Structure 1
């Protein structure tokens, strides 16, 4: 059963280097008690007001904890909350002493000053043009990350991807999301098709757009690849893509029939059945077939195999087993030999 708790982040316990897992303490809003929270996402900032959705569980070593599945962050409103927030180092160039000066000067309006008139920080004793420039740059980065987190939350995608999106795309993120949201599939590790598809739909991509259906078909082929298949029958791929996209088979097959260029999957017909491939698998499989055909068409070697083997053994100071010699002879006679053996047998 999913529960909700709210509170102020008080202390960091652990944060993974990749920013995908953290443990921290919050002061719960209703009870005032300190609660340990674990979250598969970026670490929130000290002093940040957060709403957490998840469930309670008892850790065998560390006792009762709240395992959060989602986190919604709020901007601190009260002076003391803002003071803790700025003192945490969330904005480069502002430490505890500077945070005190800023909050003492602006009070509850501090973060509104940051948002609407950040140049007013020059009125705070100790902040000059150079300091202001550094604070501005750091604040823009933090504000940008918060915007990304709020967007991901709004489309029900984990906020753990926010840092990757900001680091990779920076100011170009809006352009990427509007013009080619499915690019995220290639650029963001661990981001699944369902996540990217939610983002694409939220950005205005039509459910029946050719681009969406093309990526759905490619994702179905990647699914088949994960199951050990280099290809799959066209009808099966359409069915799997339709299920992933929440569309009918007819919608997918009808729109896909008009695909050209990069949208059209590599296709091969065998015994009257059409099979779809991912490009690199189509290339690998057809190239393997060409190589095998070339080997099968080779003429047998006319030279003495036994003499060649003797010279090889002498020059390499080894003695081949009869089975090894037999394999060499057959490869020269037939062009292609399949050799099998247990792991490590060479």
Structure 2
């Protein structure tokens, strides 16, 4: 384990692999290189406690491979001075950081937080600079609070950063959202998902059988179906999948979360415009061509897309081709049937004629059957 203050970032990869320089505060003060995905989201000036192992890179030398990263509050004078000198708090640079710590010692951060007017005791701090320091301190407190809270739930630093940056600069307080409406993260923050939002929700005391949790689970299952290529799900299938999601690790909830409870949550989502329910004629899976009216649910965007698709297909089918006859095209296509040129097959020849003379065509088939050539 090692502790220190981030001096600067050396590299941040698209895969979240991060390399940074850390000024250590435990033991002898030195500057070390730390690497690992656990460091993603770290910023200059942050105090970190890293868990991992030392390693020797053949090119870059001695490095600390971080497997886990915790945000901490600097405790002793040296750590506080490094923290302030790194520029984390706008308005305080290395010289002023040393001056502030000389005056307040280990009470420096408490003074900045609780009695900021006492900073007037430090030479060089006036009202304008004090205002900047106070604003920056409140921002850093918000970042630190959400990072420390989420890392305790094993939420990756990358997601914690995404959550904060999604709401920073808006009228929404990130920590308030995390504590009061965590399922909102599923929709607002890419990558959070139901599992992580649920972990946060249960940790802050939202009941397991709350409407918010049931509705979030239903939307999650619909979104999973969409990702697998399904535009909608039969309601009975959606309810069964959601019930399994919520009770697999909690058999005691199986009796409480029956179909009626989940259907009530579905109706509430419909009323809120979060999903669309329709009765559609769908094939009966009994080996026949029979259809049955089945109640289905889909996400609003999927419903809009499918409705628009159906509208335009019908519009095209009802239209006429803008091309007059086959003659101008047939002669051109005949030359392409020559094996010495494109070598079109009879089937490809017919495909192209159809595409040029019909208002709507669908070209389909497995790999290597000639779609691209056609």
TM-score category, normalised to shorter length: 0.7 to 0.9
Counterparts of 1:1-346 in structure 2, within 5 Å, are: 5-9=1-5, 11-16=7-12, 21-24=17-20, 25=22, 27=24, 29=26, 34=32, 36-38=34-36, 39-46=38-45, 48=47, 50-54=48-52, 61-62=59-60, 65-170=63-168, 172-173=172-173, 174-177=175-178, 180-246=181-247, 251=257, 253-258=259-264, 259-260=266-267, 261=271, 262=273, 264-269=275-280, 270=282, 271=284, 272=292, 273-293=294-314, 298=318, 305-306=324-325, 310=328, 319=332, 323=350, 326-327=353-354, 331=358, 336-340=360-364, 342=370, 344-345=372-373
Change (3 A) 1:158 1:264: same
Q: CA RMSD in A?
A: 3.7
Change (3 A) 1:29 1:99: closer
Residues 185 and 193, structure 2, Cα contact 8 Å, conserved in 1: no
Change (3 A) 1:58 1:237: farther
For 1:257, what is the secondary structure of its paired residue? helix
Report deviation, 1:99.
0.8
Residues 34 and 64, structure 2, Cα contact 8 Å, conserved in 1: yes
Report deviation, 1:218.
1.6
Residues 23 and 37, structure 1, Cα contact 8 Å, conserved in 2: yes
Report deviation, 1:85.
1.3
CA–CA separation in structure 1 for the residues paired with 2:254 and 2:28: 53
CA–CA separation in structure 2 for the residues paired with 1:19 and 1:221: 28
For 2:2, what is the secondary structure of its paired residue? strand
Q: Which moved more, 1:123-132 or 1:33-42?
A: 33-42
In the alignment, structure 2 segments of 5+ residues that lack a partner are 285-291, 335-348
Post-superposition CA distance 1:53-92 (Å, at most 9, x none): 4566675654665443432222222112211111111111
Report deviation, 1:344.
4.1
CA–CA separation in structure 1 for the residues paired with 2:140 and 2:179: 22
Aligned residues: 329
Change (3 A) 1:149 1:327: same
Q: Which residue of 1 aligns with 2:339?
A: none
Change (3 A) 1:40 1:278: farther
Report deviation, 1:112.
1.3
For 2:172, what is the secondary structure of its paired residue? helix
For 1:306, what is the secondary structure of its paired residue? coil
Change (3 A) 1:68 1:230: farther
For 1:145, what is the secondary structure of its paired residue? helix
Change (3 A) 1:111 1:15: farther
TM-score calculated relative to the size of structure 1: 0.78
Residues 213 and 252, structure 1, Cα contact 8 Å, conserved in 2: no
Change (3 A) 1:115 1:320: same
For 2:144, what is the secondary structure of its paired residue? helix
For 1:255, what is the secondary structure of its paired residue? helix
CA–CA separation in structure 2 for the residues paired with 1:74 and 1:178: 21
CA–CA separation in structure 2 for the residues paired with 1:274 and 1:55: 56
In the alignment, structure 1 segments of 5+ residues that lack a partner are none
Change (3 A) 1:229 1:62: farther
